[in-house]
Amino acid sequence: MLNKNAKLNEKLFDQGVEQKPTRDGYGEGLVNAGYEDPNVVVLCADLTESTRCEAFAKKFPDRFFEVGVAEQNLATIAAGLGVTGKIPFIASYATFSPGRNWEQVRTTISYNDSNVKVIGAHAGISVGPDGATHQAIEDIATMRVMANMRVIVPCDAIEAKKATMAVAKVWGPAYVRLGREKTPVFTTEATPFTIGKAEVLWESNGKKGKSKKPQVAIIGCGPLLHRALQAAHELEEEGIGTIVLNSHTVKPLDEKKIVEVAEACGAVVTVEEHQVSGGLGGAVAELLAKHMPVPMEFIGMQNVFGESGQPDELIEKYGMGTSDIKDAVKRVARRA
């Protein structure tokens, strides 16, 4: 059953649920952050409209800087601003930033604990027709290994807006991962969001229908969480109870909550639009290996590159659809 405290969209499972790209939420949150703090500045690498920096540029032209196709400069200029009292946001496609400029992000931003917010747009294979070269599926892994770096993967446009405003208020480097494609908006303005705090979206209670008390914890991040909720809904009708946990903050993980749901269920499935190595799944596995070893399955890219195609077709082809999540839950439940 949907967790009442999560306060999700009542039309969550309707065909007509609103769909917006998470990058739209970033654009809205950026303008709000700009009004709240005059130290917020934005730098972009020739992708102002695509990354949704355009609204901020129009509202605050004196606080917007177009760097051009020069992602290394994008990071190093922002690093200087970030140690002198400004709150710089830098935006590009995730394959370019933090892809092309990873060393500059590491050395000039993270090493110096500069107050820079790195926005990686068009992440995951749902970029679609742009193909493998533009589908960032390694970025969570490369960013979470950096000391001082926070990593946040919003599940929908509303959460992306909240994440943008939240990182503007906390000191230090942060990476926020965004998608290009329209995806379901299933949280609301009232849905809780706190950096570093995972939220239970679904919890079977064994009191209605055929469901049992939770047997498997589904821990996910990003827009694929909508498919995880669909899977949980269908599994409940089949008598398989689950907990769905929104671990939007991949670093720092909400260690207490993740260990708690793993202990309660005895098995875990992680869900992310990213390589299964090094991303959320890897982070959860590292944590549970130390504190609560349980059987695990990993939904994500299985050591392959993507290809050109329609976003939904690619999600299905690479084993990240609702049916794939259900199958993973059933497999891990048998091992528990």
Catalytic positions, written as ranges: 71
Q: What is the DSSP letter of 110?
A: I
Q: In what order do the strands lie in the sheet with 214-220?
A: 199-203, 241-246, 214-220, 268-275, 296-301
DSSP annotation string for 285-314: HHHHHHH----EEEEEE-S----SS-HHHH
Helices 22-36 and 157-169 pack at an angle, to 10 degrees, of: 30
Per the structure block, which two tokens stand in for 11? 């039309």
Per the structure block, which two tokens stand in for 118? 């790195």
Q: Is 234 exposed, middle or buried (0-12, 13-18, 19+ CB in 10 A)?
A: middle
